[in-house]
Amino acid sequence: MSYLQRAERALEAIRGENRYRKLPEHGLSNVIDFSSNDYLELATDPQVVEALKRATRVGSGGARLLAGRHRELVLLEDELADWLGRERALLFSSGYLAGTGAIPVLAELVESILSDQSNHACLIDGVRLARKPHWVYQHATLPPVSESKSSLVVSESIFGMDGDAIDPAALLERLREQDVLLLDEAHALGIAGPQGAGLARTLDDPRILVLGTLSKALGALGGFVAGPAPAIELFVNRARSFIFDTALPPSLVLASRIALFLTRRGDDRRERLRANAVRLRAALSPGVIHGSGEGPIVSVLLGSEQRALRVSEELLKHHIFVPAIRPPTVPPGTSRLRITIRAGHTLEQVDMLADELRRCVATS
């Protein structure tokens, strides 16, 4: 049997489990999108788009340590560090690469790793790449750390699938001097904290490193890690996904700088986002919503892949796009709809979603 025949068999198995995914041939049209992580709608902001039009080149030309050493990247790193209250920041080409690059480097400095059960795939893959003894702890809790071993604790602050949050200060209190916390603030940045700087902004502690992305509330592309200067210098010298990857294009980085400027001054956007999220939750019964989050991510647990697909397809008939989230993205038996609210949604659109969702869930 050839490898292509084996590939066809694997695809048939995926189809049989109702987990088959297909890339659409074109973008969405004539639908209300409740799937985007562009929470503040900065990806289409005229000032951010205008920054891209000023580009004098497309690609960066190489890795950051080679030809990709452009001034815009340094400026954005300085601005990110200032925003987050950290000593330094380092850009990666994506949040995924930031996670898979930072964790193995930090793992060299400790004896074990503790990882939250609901962490994003980039954190899980980073832990696996570290090849260090590790334990997965129950979501939003932390088992007693070993008295003899130093540990790297890896957690999101606002979790990307259910939208629930932890208290970083409480987590930090559990750690000792020799421990380190890598906190993924991807879904908190732009949304929570002073100037949208995340849940860890007020925690001035060298044991915390913040992992973030430019591709969600900031509406651009790229990832970063921010923290003490020695840790950042070590990433420059050891993080493979930084050393061997092509640097972000300076034009895109300039757009990210404008987006960050708007984010820091975007309390009005955050208030509209909050109001939309509150309105949706108030319109849905607690039995429909899964999790206890208060932010823009609303999870509707439906159980089987078939049911999640049915509800998603029924909503699409009414011009509402909320894709079904199925394994391996979530554990078996927990297929769901993951709704993301944005600042630009109108109250009428939020109400329409709530009405149709109640109906579809009740009849599915």
Q: Write the DSSP string, 131-165.
A: TS-EEEEPTT--PPPPSSS-EEEEEESB-TTT--B
Same domain, yes or no: 32 and 63: no
The DSSP code for 63 is: B
In this prediction, residue 292 carries a pLDDT of 75
Tens-place pLDDT, residues 231-246: 999 999 999 999 999 9
Contacts 24+ apart (CB under 8 A), 192-198: 192/157, 192/158, 192/165, 192/295, 195/83, 195/263, 195/264, 195/265, 196/263, 196/264, 196/266, 196/270, 197/83, 197/84, 197/85, 197/264, 198/84, 198/157
Show which of 264, 284, 305 is a domain's final residue.
264
Q: Which residues pair with 209 in a beta bridge?
A: 182
Residue 357 CA to residue 353 CA, distance in Å, equals: 6
Tens-place pLDDT, residues 244-303: 999 999 999 999 999 999 999 999 999 999 999 999 999 987 778 877 777 899 999 999
Residue 255 CA to residue 146 CA, distance in Å, equals: 45
Same domain, yes or no: 218 and 357: no
Same domain, yes or no: 255 and 137: yes
Say if strands 134-137 and 112-116 run parallel, antiparallel, or are unpaired.
parallel
Q: List, in sequence order, the alpha helices (H) in 223-334.
A: 229-238, 240-243, 250-264, 267-283, 305-317
Overall domain count for the chain: 2
Residue 198 CA to residue 212 CA, distance in Å, equals: 10
Same domain, yes or no: 119 and 91: yes
Identify whether the C-beta of residue 163 lies closer than 8 Å to the C-beta of residue 190: no
In this prediction, residue 183 carries a pLDDT of 98
Show which of 264, 291, 311 is a domain's final residue.
264
Angle at 213 between CA 137 and CA 122, to 5 degrees: 40
Identify whether the C-beta of residue 40 lies closer than 8 Å to the C-beta of residue 219: yes
Cα torsion 212, 216, 218, 220 to 10°: value is: 100
- The CATH number assigned to the domain holding 80 equals 3.40.640.10
Same domain, yes or no: 83 and 212: yes
Same domain, yes or no: 190 and 236: yes
Same domain, yes or no: 103 and 184: yes
Residue 269 CA to residue 275 CA, distance in Å, equals: 10
Per-residue pLDDT of the chain (364 residues; tens, 9 = 90+): 999 999 999 999 999 999 999 987 777 788 999 999 999 999 999 999 999 988 889 999 999 999 999 999 999 999 999 999 999 999 999 999 999 999 999 999 999 999 999 999 999 999 999 999 999 999 999 777 777 789 999 999 999 999 999 999 999 998 999 999 999 999 999 999 999 999 999 999 999 999 999 999 999 999 999 999 999 999 999 999 999 999 999 999 999 999 999 999 999 999 999 999 999 999 987 778 877 777 899 999 999 999 999 999 999 999 999 999 999 999 999 999 999 999 999 999 999 999 999 999 989 8
In this prediction, residue 24 carries a pLDDT of 79
* pTM, rounded to two decimals: 0.95
- The CATH number assigned to the domain holding 351 equals 3.90.1150.10
Q: In this structure, is residue 6 part of a structural domain? A: no
Residue 312, both tokens: 């998603």
Same domain, yes or no: 293 and 219: no
Give the three-state DSSP class for 249.
coil
Same domain, yes or no: 304 and 359: yes
Say if strands 320-321 and 32-33 run parallel, antiparallel, or are unpaired.
parallel
Q: In this structure, is residue 94 part of a structural domain? A: yes
Show which of 247, 264, 281 is a domain's final residue.
264
Residue 239 CA to residue 241 CA, distance in Å, equals: 6
Query: In terms of residue numbers, what domain contains 295?
Result: 28-43+266-363
